[in-house]
Chain A
Amino acid sequence: MKWVLLSIVVAATVASDLLQSYQMKRGGEQTADARGLVRLLRRIAHNTYLILSIVCLAFSFFAFMALVQKEPLSFAVPASAASFIVETVLAKLLLKEHIGLRRGSGALLVLCGIILLAR
């Protein structure tokens, strides 16, 4: 059961972030002042993919809650950090982001840090 929940957490997080990143980069720069946030809410309401990304986020949130209810946090946090790797790889393959040596190795250091922190 814990692997099922973990897979839901990771898959839902990855789907949510990829959708959000792809959609947010398409519509031009978004500001976060009061007017910008109202515009963003309107943008979400009219964009099926952004709504879907938030649904995915909700799935990942509730699956994570169910996971930590049974499993220790020291398993749940580093295990769900697997989404970090999957997302970085898919950002390169699907979103065509250029991940150089510095960004890639920095991301790996961060991942090691998260795993240590969660123990």
Chain B
Amino acid sequence: MRVTHARRRLKVRSKLLRAYVLLAAFLALRAFGNLSLAWGTKHLSGALNGNPLAFGLALLDPYVALAIAMLILALLVRMALLSVADLSFVLPMTAVGYAISALFGKVFLHEDVSPQRWLGIALILAGVAMVGTTSESKTSSE
């Protein structure tokens, strides 16, 4: 009786852990993918003016190509995440990505982050901390 209870708790724990590992992998892939995309497109010689040829040439840029590979992988990892966690859990948790993007923009691309944006980042992190205290999947288990 006691053993099965402990075992079930262990199983739940590891499922939660897997959800967070997938979440971290998704956030890292998307953040670095977007950074690589921004870096690559900003250093292109021609402008992206809706011309299909310009988009085709942009794909030859190693940073853009790397970005697209990472963003496709991010999509697949997010789908795996959706197999273990609720959509209403995944949506707010992945919003950490907005905060990471703003930080990356500041650190790597030297973009300005206004006080209002810092407040936005703080609100997102507070909301995420709140959602993080709820179980990742309230529907599929049991």
Is A113 a contact of B91 with CB atoms below 8 Å?
Answer: no
Q: Known: A97-B138, A114-B124. Contact between A36 and B131, CB under 8 A?
A: no
Cβ of B29 to closest chain A Cβ, rounded Å: 10
State the A residues within 8 Å of B (CB): 17-18, 20-21, 24-25, 27-32, 36-37, 40-41, 44, 50, 54, 57, 69, 84, 87-88, 91-92, 95-100, 102-103, 105-119
Complex CA distance for A28 and B79, rounded to whole angstroms: 12
Cβ of A4 to closest chain B Cβ, rounded Å: 18
Chain A residue numbers with a CB within 8 Å of B3 are: none
Q: How many residues of chain B are within 8 Å of chain A by beta carbon? A: 46
Tell which of A28, A44, A96, A116 touches B83, judged by Cβ atoms closer than 8 Å: A28
22 A-B residue pairings within 8 Å (CB atoms): A20-B82, A29-B18, A30-B79, A31-B18, A32-B76, A50-B79, A54-B75, A95-B139, A105-B130, A106-B126, A107-B88, A109-B124, A109-B126, A109-B127, A111-B127, A112-B120, A113-B122, A114-B120, A117-B98, A117-B99, A117-B120, A117-B121
